[in-house]
């Protein structure tokens, strides 16, 4: 019997999770077992396994990618990658800004919304304690964190920017000093990367189960009732995210990369579904790399450089969401932001999206930086908590998709003949690139 493709297995897991999650409640007990605790157990185990792959995968792929490139090729690739990331994030933010201004989800009489949507005190205090005291100065901190004082600590604490910076430097100097000993080091990292690729394949076999646990847990704890008053904001953010993913990025793929957008989309589906379920682009990185290499046909060298960098610095969905959310809060509180203030929102969204970690709910902190900068009340964050998880899942999928588009477009511009191979029953069965 032919094996069902991984992305279909994941889709079925999501549907089952929504169905089962909506008929269970947080305090339900079935034959002495709490379904919520079981979902949590399965989901956490899967997330842990994905996170376990990140540090060795990021280090080995960046280092071996850089070592393979060397010299001018590296500068060219680096320049193109950063340019692409800056442009696509800016495009995403401008789409968000236009949609939120056109729809105006927070305009009108929102006194009731502002009052009624305050979450319970405990949640509010917890969120505020995370975001209080943030201001535009935090952007400087993003750059300071880029240079870690201790690379082992950066890896242990999941400070991806620091780890990436060190790996980039390490790879650069490895490429420069080609002696017998450094060639051995190069081969070592290549070997680590090959092993990590195999290990990722193995972990992904459990994706449907892990995704089921994560989604069922979210549906059980969040429910649907609280959603209603925030529906218009939800629709606005969703529409803007969809416009970016289904109109803007496909146009870029077609016009700049000369790549068939729907084929690439299909090729990336396992990674996007995983991003959707985990709400973490870092945790999805192993699978993003796998799909881009084996289903979209990008070389290991290009994807090993572009994708780990993108998972941390390129977050189109997050940048767009930050802008929509800050504008929405301003509208709810009846503040009309001037052009200058809106420009500031755009710039801070762009800069903070670089520093936002690829983990669930990370953008809430960045949004608080924007709120502080334009003088909006931090309590506004409370409004966002209601819809945050679901929008987080969607914006993370957009983040991952945009990274993959960058990889394909850049590979094409480097003269690679990317061959999109979709339709294979299982992405993990593709021959190595
Ligand atoms: N969850 C997002 C990600 O991992 C970050 C965020 O927007 O909160 O890409």
Residue 252 within any structural domain of the chain: yes
**pLDDT given for residue 224 in this prediction:** 64
Q: Separation of 401 CA from ligand 1 center, angstroms?
A: 13
Residue of 345, 312, 328, 330 whose CA lies nearest to 376: 330
Q: Separation of 320 CA from ligand 1 center, angstroms?
A: 11
Domain count, the chain: 1
**Closest protein CA for atom 1 of ligand 1:** 360
- Residue 311: CATH number of its domain: 1.10.3860.10
Q: How far is CA 207 from the centre of its chain?
A: 17
Residue 251 within any structural domain of the chain: yes
The total of other beta-carbon atoms located within 10 Å of residue 65's CB is: 29
**pLDDT given for residue 150 in this prediction:** 93
| Domain with 71 in it | 6-413
Mutation pick for ligand 1 pocket among 50, 85, 89, 280 (CB with most ligand atoms within 8 Å): 280
Residue with tokens 């490895």: 174
| Ligand 1 close to Cβ of residue 392 (< 6 A) | yes
The region, left, alpha or beta by phi > 0 then psi within -120 to 50, assigned to residue 297 is left
| Ligand 1 close to Cβ of residue 418 (< 6 A) | no
Tokens representing residue 58 in the block: 């990021």
Mutation pick for ligand 1 pocket among 245, 286, 395, 402 (CB with most ligand atoms within 8 Å): 395
Q: What is the mean pLDDT of each run of 10 residues along the chain (433 residues)?
A: 74 88 82 87 87 84 76 78 93 96 81 54 56 58 79 84 85 84 90 85 85 84 66 94 97 92 93 91 91 90 89 91 93 83 87 80 81 79 79 95 96 80 45 33
Cα dist. 364→135, 325, 352 in Å? 13, 9, 11
Tokens representing residue 312 in the block: 């941390």
Tokens representing residue 179 in the block: 């002696």
**pLDDT given for residue 383 in this prediction:** 77
Rounded CA separation 1/228 (Å): 44
**pLDDT given for residue 429 in this prediction:** 35
| Ligand 1 close to Cβ of residue 158 (< 6 A) | no
| Ligand 1 close to Cβ of residue 280 (< 6 A) | yes
pTM listed for this prediction: 0.78
**Contact in structure between 370 and 131 (CB atoms under 8 Å):** no
Residue 427 within any structural domain of the chain: no
**pLDDT given for residue 425 in this prediction:** 41
| Ligand 1 close to Cβ of residue 358 (< 6 A) | yes
Q: Which atom of ligand 1 is nearest to the CA of 311?
A: 9
Query: Which residues are bridge partners to 33 per DSSP?
Result: 30
Rounded CA separation 102/331 (Å): 12
**Contact in structure between 157 and 145 (CB atoms under 8 Å):** no
Q: Separation of 3 CA from ligand 1 center, angstroms?
A: 32
Residue 169 within any structural domain of the chain: yes
Q: Hey, is 30 helix, strand or coil?
A: strand
Residue of 385, 390, 383 whose CA lies nearest to 110: 383
Residue 426 within any structural domain of the chain: no
Q: How far is CA 307 from the centre of its chain?
A: 11
Q: Hey, is 210 helix, strand or coil?
A: helix
C-alpha neighbours within 13 Å on the C-beta side of residue 130: 15
Query: Which residues are bridge partners to 51 per DSSP?
Result: none
């Amino acid at each position: 019997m032919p094996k069902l493709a991984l992305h279909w297995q994941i889709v079925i897991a999501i549907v089952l999770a929504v169905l089962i999650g909506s008929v269970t409640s947080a305090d339900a007990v079935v034959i002495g077992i709490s379904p919520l605790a079981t979902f949590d157990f399965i989901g956490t185990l899967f997330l842990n396994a994905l996170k376990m792959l990140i540090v060795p995968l990021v280090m080995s792929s960046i280092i071996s990618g850089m070592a393979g490139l060397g010299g001018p090729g590296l500068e060219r690739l680096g320049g193109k990658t950063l340019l692409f990331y800056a442009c696509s994030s800016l495009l995403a933010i401008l789409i968000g800004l236009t949609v939120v201004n056109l729809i105006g989800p927070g305009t009108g009489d929102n006194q009731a919304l502002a009052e009624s949507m305050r979450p319970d005190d405990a949640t509010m205090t917890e969120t505020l304690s995370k975001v209080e005291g943030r201001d535009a100065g935090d952007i400087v901190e993003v750059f300071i964190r880029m240079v870690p004082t201790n690379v082992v600590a950066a890896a242990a604490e999941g400070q991806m920017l620091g780890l990436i910076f060190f790996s980039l430097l390490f790879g650069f100097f490895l490429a420069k000093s080609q002696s017998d000993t450094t060639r051995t080091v190069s081969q070592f990292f290549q070997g680590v990367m090959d092993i990590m690729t195999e290990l990722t394949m193995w972990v992904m076999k459990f994706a449907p189960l892990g995704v089921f646990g994560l989604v069922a847990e979210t549906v059980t704890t969040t429910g649907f009732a609280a959603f209603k008053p925030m529906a218009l904001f939800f629709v606005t953010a969703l529409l803007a995210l969809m416009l970016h993913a289904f109109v803007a990025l496909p146009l870029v793929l077609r016009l700049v990369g000369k790549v068939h957008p729907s084929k690439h989309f299909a090729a990336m589906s396992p990674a996007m579904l995983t991003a959707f379920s985990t709400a973490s682009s870092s945790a999805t990185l192993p699978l993003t790399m796998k799909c881009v290499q084996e289903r979209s046909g990008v070389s290991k060298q290009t994807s090993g450089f572009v994708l780990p960098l993108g998972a941390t610095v390129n977050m189109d969905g997050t940048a767009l969401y930050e802008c929509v959310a800050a504008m929405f809060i301003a509208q709810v509180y009846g503040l009309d932001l001037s052009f200058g203030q809106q420009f500031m929102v755009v710039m801070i969204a762009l800069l903070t999206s670089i520093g936002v970690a690829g983990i669930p709910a990370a953008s809430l902190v960045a949004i608080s930086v924007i709120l502080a900068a334009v003088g909006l009340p931090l309590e506004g964050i409370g409004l966002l908590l209601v819809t945050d998880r679901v929008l987080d899942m969607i914006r993370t999928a957009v983040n991952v998709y945009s990274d993959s588009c960058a990889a394909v477009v850049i590979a094409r511009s480097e003269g690679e003949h990317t061959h999109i191979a979709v339709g294979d029953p299982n992405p993990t069965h593709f021959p190595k690139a």
